[in-house]
Amino acid sequence: MRLWRWEVGPLTRIMLKKFIAKLRESISPTKRGSEGSEHKEVKSTREGFQGAGAGHKPRPAQDRGPAGQGGRGRSPRSGEPGSAARGDGQGRAHDSRPSREPRPAHEARPAHESRPSHEARPSHEGRPNQEGRSGRGGQGQGRQDGASRHSAGGGHSARSGGRGRTGGERPRPARDDFEHPRREPVKPVVPIDVPKMDTAFSQLGLSDALAYAVQEMGYTEPTPIQRQAIPIILQGGDVIGSAQTGTGKTAAFALPIIQRLGAHGALRCLVLEPTRELALQVEEAFQKYARFTDLRVTIVYGGVGYGKQTDDLRRGMDILAATPGRLLDHLEQRNCSLEKVDILVLDEVDRMLDMGFLPDVRRIVQQCQAARQTLFFTATLPPEIEQLASWALRNPAKVEIGRQRSPAETVSHAFYPVVATQKFDLLQQLLEKTELKSVIIFCRTRMGADRIAARLQQKGHTVGVLHSDRSQRERVEALEGFKSARFEVLVATDIAARGLDIAGVSHVINYDVPENAEDYVHRIGRTGRAQNTGDAFTLVTEEDVRDARSIERFIGTSIERKRIEGFPYVYSALFDQKILDEAVPKPAGRLHRGMRR
């Protein structure tokens, strides 16, 4: 029988020789220092492989790593005879440093024996699988982080005093067990006898318990969107509701839904929200409206633990407010089922489309009942919503209040032209010369929001920061602190531009002009809510001229340009009205899909 021989070319043979030489060099003991100690050769590649494998015969003590750890080819510590430099197993020399006397080979520390808490691992003493990564923190301290916590054999090896035990190690951050900002129950501990109600809300067909809850919250007259939407929803019809921000859209669908659900049962109502803040706000509204009923309401959203959410879902809820991502997680874990959901609400649906939630929304809708009532509520009605409505709704009734694309009539707004280098100085002047009680400052980026907040704090302002890079605890604390007047200024990205109901906001300042004209309407809608008045200022630089023109075209009216008396303006073409009139607006377009704010 003839055996065929594999022929290789000369270039391949050279590469193989180099590879074998490198392999031998990496497996063999490291060369000795400058005092002339002879390096023991590895006789063959096969011997080298056997020496590197688990369970191999230990090398003599002088060829092993420090402290009997069996590291790959470590050189002796500096200070030993014949070792002026220290190798790292790859031919790289480290600076020689004094060290303690090495253990004799017969006194090698067992792998399971931990060091005393005060004894730090020397800087050259790493793990076998972390060759060349030994600590460089100075003073002979080794690395204490996760890169050197496990031995090569897969088990736990000796630690440098354990995590958090040595003074030179960064302390482990405290565990954030934040799950929900509300701790106390909403429903009364002692049942209350609801009186017979005869109010404007009860005349819409709402029960005495609902009318009484609304009255306890201080509302006496329904808004136009509530007057038109509540009767339709009570009859079970699908609705597309659109109204200017701050006109009570949440109550327009929450009150009739509670009325239709009646008593406690299975999970029958799902409300999807694009952001955590909106989900928390809607859940709180449902809790307050249903406080005199036996309906159960809960929320699932990201950025927090699963514990309370899972417990609530398994305990049985009637109404669920959720963000799409976390809800899909619970569905995959089978913590809940949407089979009996017969009322589906998509709130701020235009924002869901902007954030790229459409695929997730479709997956969720497909798990609900086909014969359901579906409600869309939004401040604007872009063309994309029509396509989604044709798939998810059945003969919906349209309820549109107010002129589309227009800001609330209770808000007066103005543009303040300024060169980019003077933006913060002008902002500071606005804060000092205007009677500002509660101000939201919108920035385009998260980094910009952090930078402006830090500068305002240096000027003595109390500031909260809200954007998507903050933890959920920080976001809730910023929002609650602003609502309670602990912060006079809230610096935020567009994550705070949609739907947040914050009472008493006197001013909104756009430090950065929004890239999309539609966001301008939502931003300034944070003030002038519930028939109150408010002011909105926008700082416009040379780069923002086209965006400013786009905003004016979107809302269908021109916005007054103002200047602060006494401010040392740097001259710019911004102050030439002829140039401004000739500026071409940017093409209208939707927000960037999936952009974090």
CA distances to 71, 326, 581 from 310, rounded to whole Å, are 47, 11, 57
SS (H, E, C) 149-160: CECCCCCECCCC
The DSSP string of 197-228 is --STTGGGT--HHHHHHHHHTT--S--HHHHH
Domain stop point among 401, 428, 463: 401
Instruction: Judge whether 210 lies within some domain.
Output: yes
Q: Which residue from 511, 498, 461 is spatially nearest to 482, judged by alpha carbons?
A: 461
251 and 379 both lie in a single domain: yes
Kindly tell me if the per-residue pLDDT of 460 is higher than 80. Answer: yes
Q: Give me the count of residues in the chain.
A: 597
Query: How many domains are contained in the chain?
Result: 2
422 and 559 both lie in a single domain: yes
Residue 169 or 311, more confident: 311
- Give the HSE-up count for residue 452: Cα atoms under 13 Å, Cβ half-sphere: 29
Kindly tell me if the per-residue pLDDT of 538 is higher than 80. Answer: yes
451 and 563 both lie in a single domain: yes
Alpha-carbon distance 224 to 190, whole Å? 35
Instruction: Judge whether 164 lies within some domain.
Output: no
Q: Lowest mean pLDDT of 24-33, 157-166, 167-176, 199-208, name the range.
A: 157-166
Kindly tell me if the per-residue pLDDT of 49 is higher than 90. Answer: no
The whole-number pLDDT of residue 255 equals: 96
Domain stop point among 366, 401, 436: 401
Categorize the per-residue pLDDT at 595 as very low, low, confident or very high, splitting at 50, 70 and 90: very low
250 and 386 both lie in a single domain: yes
Kindly tell me if the per-residue pLDDT of 525 is higher than 90. Answer: no
The whole-number pLDDT of residue 264 equals: 93
pLDDT mean across residues, the chain: 74
Contact 290, 213 (CB under 8 A): yes
257 and 299 both lie in a single domain: yes
CB count in 10 Å sphere of residue 370: 8
Categorize the per-residue pLDDT at 421 as very low, low, confident or very high, splitting at 50, 70 and 90: very high
235 and 372 both lie in a single domain: yes
Percent of the chain with pLDDT over 90: 36
Q: Which residue from 463, 475, 517 is spatially nearest to 500, judged by alpha carbons?
A: 475
Kindly tell me if the per-residue pLDDT of 34 is higher than 60. Answer: no
237 and 362 both lie in a single domain: yes
pLDDT (average), residues 216-221? 89
pLDDT (average), residues 2-22? 71
Instruction: Judge whether 154 lies within some domain.
Output: no
The whole-number pLDDT of residue 50 equals: 45
Instruction: Judge whether 148 lies within some domain.
Output: no
The whole-number pLDDT of residue 315 equals: 92
- Give the HSE-up count for residue 131: Cα atoms under 13 Å, Cβ half-sphere: 22
541 and 561 both lie in a single domain: yes
Model confidence, pTM: 0.61
Highest-scoring range by mean pLDDT, 223-237, 377-391, 431-445: 223-237
State the residue range of the domain holding 352.
Answer: 202-401
Looking at residue 491, which CATH number applies to its domain? 3.40.50.300
Instruction: Judge whether 280 lies within some domain.
Output: yes
Residue 351 or 200, more confident: 200
Domain stop point among 401, 425, 444: 401
Kindly tell me if the per-residue pLDDT of 107 is higher than 70. Answer: no
Q: Lowest mean pLDDT of 92-101, 261-270, 327-336, 412-421, name the range.
A: 92-101
The whole-number pLDDT of residue 578 equals: 59
Instruction: Judge whether 219 lies within some domain.
Output: yes
Kindly tell me if the per-residue pLDDT of 1 is higher than 50. Answer: no
349 and 209 both lie in a single domain: yes
432 and 323 both lie in a single domain: no
Instruction: Judge whether 156 lies within some domain.
Output: no
pLDDT (average), residues 339-362? 86
pLDDT (average), residues 223-243? 92
pLDDT (average), residues 348-352? 81
pLDDT (average), residues 29-53? 43
415 and 458 both lie in a single domain: yes
Kindly tell me if the per-residue pLDDT of 27 is higher than 50. Answer: yes
Instruction: Judge whether 146 lies within some domain.
Output: no
Categorize the per-residue pLDDT at 517 as very low, low, confident or very high, splitting at 50, 70 and 90: confident
Kindly tell me if the per-residue pLDDT of 191 is higher than 60. Answer: yes
255 and 218 both lie in a single domain: yes
